[in-house]
Amino acid sequence: MLQATIKDNPSSFLIGLSNLELKLDCNHLPRRIEESFWIMKYNIDILTLNQEKVEETIITNAPYWDTFERFYRNETGSTPKPWYNYYTPLSFFIDNKHIEFSSFSYRAGIDLLLDKNNVAKNTYTFSVFSEHVSNLHYLQAEYDKLHNNSTPYNLIFVQDGDYLDMYIDSVRSSNYIFTYVRGTKEMAKEIENFVRREPYDPSKILWPRHANGTSDYDDQTILDHKTGNAYLTLHDSTIRTEPDSSSDIVADIKKDDVVTILEKNNSITINDIQSNWLKVKTDTNQTGWVFGGDISLNDATSREEQERYEAEHAELLKVAQQYQEKLEQERKAEEEQKAIEQKAQALRDEEERLRQEAMDKLIDFDVFLYVTGGMLVFIILLIVVILILKSKKKNRKSK
């Protein structure tokens, strides 16, 4: 297992090394999907309610707050302020590699690592292969469905403009989890202020709109597209040479075709739809003008972006493979060096053994010489004594 940390994020994961493989079967997520801060929808609903209904709606959607004050006393031993002083809206952000879900006070969020994804029109399917929870005992209750699934499993998001419906494994009501709306961190902070009964700036709230420009919060149909981004077409239409419905037709476009916004003209209203004439580029490189009422608010990735992403990914894969080959060469070189060192050590050990053996033999020879020399001296002394004794005996006889 390997412990990995996400850049700019203190969360870490335990990952099986077999999962760490660069693949080319990933689709590039639309830029606005990755750049957005997705907030649970009921947090927008409460902004239109009175205080009593705000509390009721929050506790219905997040029963945790109904018992928070008792939980706080049990955990800290002190008396908390009213529950709403601790409120933060649940949210998540996403990219090609992971999804990070936030949590309430004193709870734990969940982070999911993604293996691959599939994009089909307004539906995004991600293969989840690993998860991280800082403390399972305090896991945010809303994420139990995610945690209770054995990885790998599919997490599916269906986009409807500024809305994302989340499902597990398949798009059906029994697998539905939450609906999120597009927002920003500043917007989440204003919602927090609203619930906490602190000064609140409604101008920072981005009221969500469906793919067709309608809203749950007003009676207008407004389609406001961002220059430089790609979108799916809302229905069949035509691209024209000028921002005028009477100008020549350049090409026909079909429902769910991908167009990239190059330029926006002034806002106008046509058939009760407020939008702009948009200069667009199709995936077949045709350029012209189309009324924004014909372009949905569903994000897309242009063919050009996808091809650029694949080229960059392929280059990254090439570099990674080269690096892997270099690591393999270094590993083999290390093994060869280790084998050489082991042989050298074996030779040194053998040399030491032979030296010790020679020393042992030399010591044995020294002992032999010492013993032999001692015996020789003894024999010589014995002979001398015998000769002396014989000499003395002979002298006595001669007398």
- For residue range 50-68, list pLDDT tens digits in order: 989 999 999 999 999 999 9
Co-location of 121 and 261 in the same domain: no
Q: What is the pLDDT of residue 24?
A: 46
- pLDDT tier at 375, thresholds 50, 70, 90: confident
Residues 138 and 35 in one domain: yes
97, 155, 103: which is closest to 126 by C-alpha? 155
CATH of the domain at 283: 2.30.30.40
Residues of the domain holding 291:
221-301
Tokens encoding 395? 């002298």
Judgement on whether residues 360 and 226 belong to the same structural domain of the protein? no
34 and 142: one domain? Answer: yes
The answer to whether residues 110 and 244 belong to one domain is: no
Q: Are residues 77 and 88 in the same domain?
A: yes
Q: Which residue has the higher pLDDT, 17 or 333?
A: 333
Q: pLDDT tens digits for 96-144?
A: 788 999 999 889 999 998 887 888 899 999 999 888 888 888 889 889 8
Nearest to 37 by CA among 162, 150, 165, 185: 185
- Tell me, yes or no, whether 86 lies in a domain: yes
Residue 143 falls inside a structural domain: yes
pLDDT at 72 over 70: yes
Same domain, 50 and 158: yes
Query: 182-196, 281-295, 358-372: lowest mean pLDDT where?
Result: 358-372
State the pTM of this model.
0.75
**Which has the minimum average pLDDT: 3-7, 107-111, 155-159, 339-343?**
3-7
Judgement on whether residues 94 and 155 belong to the same structural domain of the protein: yes
Domain boundary among 255, 283, 301: 301
Instruction: Report residue 351's pLDDT band, with 50, 70 and 90 as the boundaries.
Output: confident
Mean residue pLDDT of the chain comes to: 87
Q: What is the pLDDT of residue 398?
A: 66
The pLDDT value recorded for residue 399 is: 58
Judgement on whether residues 57 and 128 belong to the same structural domain of the protein = yes
Task: Tell me whether residue 149 is in a domain.
Answer: yes
Q: Is residue 378, in this structure, part of any structural domain at all?
A: no
16-43: average pLDDT: 74
CA-CA distance, 264 to 278, in Å (whole number)? 5
The pLDDT score that the predictor gives to residue 393 is 73
Predicted confidence (pLDDT) per residue in 229-241, tens digit: 999 999 999 999 9
Please tell me the distance from the alpha carbon of residue 221 to that of residue 269, in angstroms, as a whole number: 10
Domain check: are 119 and 159 in the same one? yes
E strands in the chain: 2-5, 12-15, 37-40, 91-94, 98-101, 110-120, 123-132, 153-160, 163-168, 176-183, 221-222, 230-233, 237-240, 249-253, 258-270, 273-282, 287-291, 295-300
> Could you say which of 204, 230, 254 is where a domain stops?
204
Tell me whether residue 172 is in a domain.
yes
Last residue of a domain, one of 250, 267, 301: 301
In the chain, the percentage of residues whose pLDDT exceeds 90 is: 57
- Weakest-pLDDT range from 76-85, 253-262, 303-312: 303-312
CA distance 326 to 332: 10
Confidence of residue 367 (pLDDT cuts 50, 70, 90): low
Q: Of 21-25, 362-366, 376-380, which one has max mean pLDDT?
A: 376-380
Average the pLDDT over each of 181-195, 265-279, 322-336 and give the range with the smallest value: 322-336
**Residue 396 is assigned to a structural domain of this protein:** no
Same-domain pairing of 364 and 291: no
Would you state the structure tokens that stand for residue 383, as one six-digit string? 């002979």
